[in-house]
A and B are shown apart, each in its own frame.
Chain A
Amino acid sequence: MGKTLTEKVLGRKAGREVKAGDVVSVSPDYVLSHDNSAAIIQEFRKLGVKKVKAPGKIVIVLDHIVPAADEKYAQNHKTIREFVAEQGIANFFDINAGICHQVLPEQGFALPGSVIVGSDSHTPSYGALGAFAAGIGRTETACTWATDEIWLRVPETMRIDLTGRLGPGVSAKDLSLKLIGDHGAEMANYKAVEFDGPAAGDFSVGARLTLANMSAEMGAKNGYFAPDEKTLRWLEGRARGPFVALASDPDALYESVLAYDLGSLEPQVAVPHSVDNVKPVAEVAGRAVNQVLIGTCTNGRLEDLETAAAILKGRKVAKSVRVLVIPASWEVYREALRSGALAVLVDAGCVILNSGCGPCLGAHEGLLAAGEVCLSTSNRNFRGRMGHRDSEIYLASPATAAASAVTGRITDPRGFL
């Protein structure tokens, strides 16, 4: 019997043959944390050890509230910087780097065949490059800092076979919403999700990051694409070290297989207050919005900003709507400056914010008042997530967000191409 990518990656780390259901104890390649490192440090101190076991494996990216929005956040950042200096953690990215889930791939940490755990639920993003990457909590991160070891259950794998070609104005985000809408927010709980089929290779690395990122909203432990030529090209000049490109065997055992034809997909929107409450944009078109957010670890990459710029070029955002744009990283920021996308967005009336998580998680930069509605390219629309508990969040693609920015109402982007 063949093996899935996940079984191979975890087996290689564990130093033995493993299959779904086995529990392995592994030493991860990298352990990610962000602003929550302040809380992790507090837990780490309780363990009674002075030094982290493998400082070179710890990656800390400040991204959640950057720059610090108030003195409490400033103190957290200060605590983290002091710890980084004390422990000799070289892989530290301060407030001018970007969102961890963009920074780790760009900086060459997220490599095919590697094992990455992170104290953030969207850690599965790195599966876009063929890594095994899963989210963990703060206490577990603190213990992994001390022991350089974590136990993981090898997950069963759900394969999603993709065929056909996306139509104009339809993107990876629409596919992810459609999948979650059709099968529910726990469709892949505890499982691995493999994006496969003849059309999988058509997705850019950016689109793969969107899909792997959204696998978290399917409940998945990890989500991934097998590494291919595109992956290897993208990693040129980025990879921090050697890596092994592993893929599932043709006779690997899958827990289930879904099939989707991209050609029949239309723009989707998740309506309040759950990610699996999904409808075609056409069904909710016309709903007035107060704010549009284009960015986050799901959809803040160069191609997302360029999609938005293509729609907003020569147009203005509606007077009734505030449009926030957040490049996912400083690399994206610089590229979007050079490409002219940011100039187009500013001319249209968008507000450009520092690379980071922005208002997505409800801590700063554009929170919502009671009764306000936001259309966002982010990944969660839970009640109260971006502000008041009586505000509403709709999730959609960058194209839908840009079209809606122009009209001030939820709008199908296909009329703007």
Chain B
Amino acid sequence: MSHGIVWKYGDNVNTDVIFPGRYTYQMMPPEEMAKHALEDLDPEFAPKVKPGDVIVAGKNFGSGSSREQAATCLKAAGVQAIVARSFARIYFRNAINIGLPVLQSPEAVDHLEAGDPVDIDLVRGEIRSTRGTFSFSPLPESVLGIIAAGGLIEYTKAKLTVDETEEKKE
């Protein structure tokens, strides 16, 4: 569990405003991506975000392009989780695949405001704040496995090694 504050946004926060197309096909390290996070939605975000902060947004977060940097840049900026009413499907997969928790909790979105201190307990499925404790459906075990491994690359790497070892045994 870690602490941070809430950054609050509305519905349909799309991948173009999270990570603009002008940077999408340039190769850059995650810490460089973090400098452009939410650049076209909230230019204040990237310079001020602190490790452990949480993004709280409305419905269809991450709609639009499949660009994975829209998840990577937020994780690299220190965001511990995104809480939204709903997520666009490719964004949901991307976030999990790079190890960024994406939590669906309309109740938390209704109550939390920008600047609120907030804690998230992934295992118990709780978002704690001075405005109350909100639940989210805990992520399925397979998904938690990917997040725990640090993302799909590490997860797949481990799986490929196991497969190889088993093949050798045979």
Least Cβ–Cβ distance between A89 and chain B, in angstroms: 20
Q: How far is the CB of B25 from chain A (nearest CB, A)?
A: 5
- Chain B CB within 10 Å — which of A47, A139, A385 has the most? A139
Answer whether A143 and B90 are a contact pair too, CB < 8 Å, given A185-B63, A384-B17: no
Q: Which residue of A lies closest to B16 (CB)?
A: A382
Q: Known: A46-B157, A47-B157. Contact between A119 and B86, CB under 8 A?
A: no
Q: Are B97 and A139 in contact (CB under 8 A)?
A: yes
Interface 0/1 of A204-239, CB less than 8 Å to B: 000000000000000101000000000000000000
Contact B153 A143 (CB under 8 A): yes
Q: Mark A146-167, 1 if CB is under 8 A from B, else 0.
A: 1100000000000000000000
Q: Contact check, B60 vs A385: say whether CB atoms are below 8 A apart.
A: no
Residue A35, interface by CB 8 Å? yes
Whether A48 contacts B63 in the complex (CB less than 8 A), given A65-B25, A190-B89, A380-B16, comes out as no
Question: Chain A residues with Cβ under 8 A from B89's Cβ?
Answer: 189-190, 219, 221
Specify which chain A residues have a CB less than 8 angstroms from the CB of B60 in the assembled complex.
Answer: 185-186, 189, 219
Q: From B48-56, B64-72, B127-135, give the one contacting chain A.
A: B64-72
8 Å CB contact of B98 from A39, A76, A139: A139
Q: Are B151 and A139 in contact (CB under 8 A)?
A: yes
Answer yes or no: B101 CB below 8 A from chain A CBs.
Answer: no
Q: Which of B22, B71, B86, B152 contacts A186 (CB 8 A)?
A: B86
What 1/0 flags go to A42-64 for Cβ under 8 Å of B? 11001111000000000000001
Given contacts A72-B27, A142-B153, contact A362 B63 (CB under 8 A): no
Query: Is A146 a contact partner of B90 (Cβ separation < 8 A)?
Result: no
Pairwise interchain contact A137-B66, C-beta atoms closer than 8 A = yes
Chain A, interface residues (CB within 8 Å), range: 35 or more
List of B residues within 8 angstroms of A138 by Cβ: 66, 68, 94
0 or 1 for each of A22-35: is its CB under 8 Å from B? (1 = yes): 00000000000001
CA distance A54 to B126 in the complex (A): 42
Identify B93's interface contact among A75, A140, A186, A363, CB under 8 A.
A140
Q: Is the CB of A43 within 8 A of B153?
A: yes
Query: Is residue B160 within 8 Å, beta carbon to beta carbon, of the partner chain?
Result: yes
Asked whether B25 lies within 8 Å of A380 as measured between CB atoms, the reply is no
- For B67, list chain A residues within 8 Å (CB): 36, 137
| Interface contact B40-A384, CB-CB below 8 Å | yes
Contact B64 A136 (CB under 8 A): no
Residues of A within 8 A of B24 (CB): 36, 361-363
The size of the chain B interface, using a CB distance under 8 A, is: 39
CA of A46 to CA of B159, assembled, Å: 13
Chain A residues numbered 174-197 whose CB sits less than 8 Å from any CB in chain B: 185-186, 189-190
A11 to chain B, nearest CB (A): 20
Q: What is the CB-to-nearest-CB distance from B24 to chain A, in angstroms, rounded to a whole number?
A: 7
Whether A382 touches B153, Cβ cut-off 8 Å, given contacts A136-B90, A186-B88, A219-B88, is no
Answer whether residue A334 sits at the interface, using C-beta atoms and an 8 A cutoff.
no
State whether the Cβ of B47 lies closer than 8 Å to any Cβ in chain A: no
A139 B66 Cβ-Cβ under 8 A: no
Output the least CB separation between B133 and chain A (Å): 27
Q: B27 to A121, Cβ gap below 8 A? A: no
Task: Check B20 for interface membership: any CB of A closer than 8 A.
Answer: yes
A363, B65: Cβ atoms closer than 8 Å: no
Partner of A136, one of B40, B41, B93: B93
* Distance A72 CA – B28 CA, assembled complex (angstroms): 10
Point out the residues of chain A lying under 8 angstroms from B80, CB to CB. none
Contact A76 B17 (CB under 8 A): no
Structural contact, B160 and A385, CB atoms closer than 8 A: no
Q: A73 near B: Cβ within 8 Å? A: yes
A121 contacts B66, CB within 8 Å? yes
Q: In chain B, residues 1-42, which have Cβ atoms closer than 8 Å to a Cβ of chain A? A: 12, 14, 16-17, 20-22, 24-27, 39-41
B137 is an interface residue with CB less than 8 A from chain A: no
| A/B interface sample: 11 pairs, CB < 8 A | A42-B27, A47-B156, A121-B90, A137-B90, A138-B94, A147-B159, A189-B86, A361-B24, A362-B20, A384-B40, A389-B20
Known A143-B156, A219-B89, A274-B14; further 17 A-B contacts with Cβ < 8 A: A36-B67, A47-B156, A47-B157, A48-B160, A48-B161, A64-B25, A72-B26, A73-B25, A137-B68, A138-B94, A139-B98, A139-B152, A143-B152, A189-B60, A361-B65, A367-B22, A389-B40
**Nearest 7 interchain pairs by C-beta:** A362-B21, A137-B94, A382-B16, A186-B60, A384-B40, A137-B68, A121-B66
